[in-house]
Amino acid sequence: MKKIFIISFCLFLFYNACSSSEPGLIKRSITTTANDQARMTHISIKMIYNASEMYFMQTGNFPVDIAQLVSTGIIDDLRDPIKSTWTFQLQLPEQIVAISTKEMNGGAGKVISFDVLEQKFSGYLVPKEE
């Protein structure tokens, strides 16, 4: 049941990301750009955050890594292209950080941070607020 909720939530986020920011995303070729990979990373971070909240409700502690979420069955392991292009650091309850690998089209070392309290992303390809 938990996995169904998480999958449904991720599909909802993906649909909103595609429809609001770039309607032609689904119609483009299968090649993913750095923008696409960053957008998928935002969705993955939100999924990891929601799963971490579930983990906290079950155990009273935040997970230290994704492996804990996988081992408890809250989520399945990440799949490509996310798994090969980003590493994730859970620094909960403050933030989740994603760092790109050399496999990512934009190059290695790009950082996307999700501030849990503010519920905001910052870093690579995130527009700055004015």
pLDDT surpasses 60 at 106: yes
SS3 content of the chain, % helix, strand, coil (to 5): 45, 15, 40
Neighbours of 80 (CB within 10 A): 8
- Tell whether pTM > 0.85: no
> Residue 53 belongs to what H/E stretch?
helix 34-59
pLDDT band for position 130 (cuts 50, 70, 90) = very low
pLDDT band for position 21 (cuts 50, 70, 90) = very low
How many domains, the chain? Answer: 1
> Residue 19 belongs to what H/E stretch?
helix 2-21
pLDDT band for position 128 (cuts 50, 70, 90) = confident
**Average pLDDT of the chain to the nearest whole number:** 81
Residue 93 lies in a domain: yes
Q: Residue 66: which domain range?
A: 2-123
Phi, psi of 103 (to 5 degrees): -75, -15
Q: How far is Cα 103 from Cα 117, in angstroms, rounded to an integer?
A: 30
Residue 129 lies in a domain: no
* Comparison of pLDDT for 94 and 83, the residue scoring more: 94
What pLDDT does residue 32 have? 65
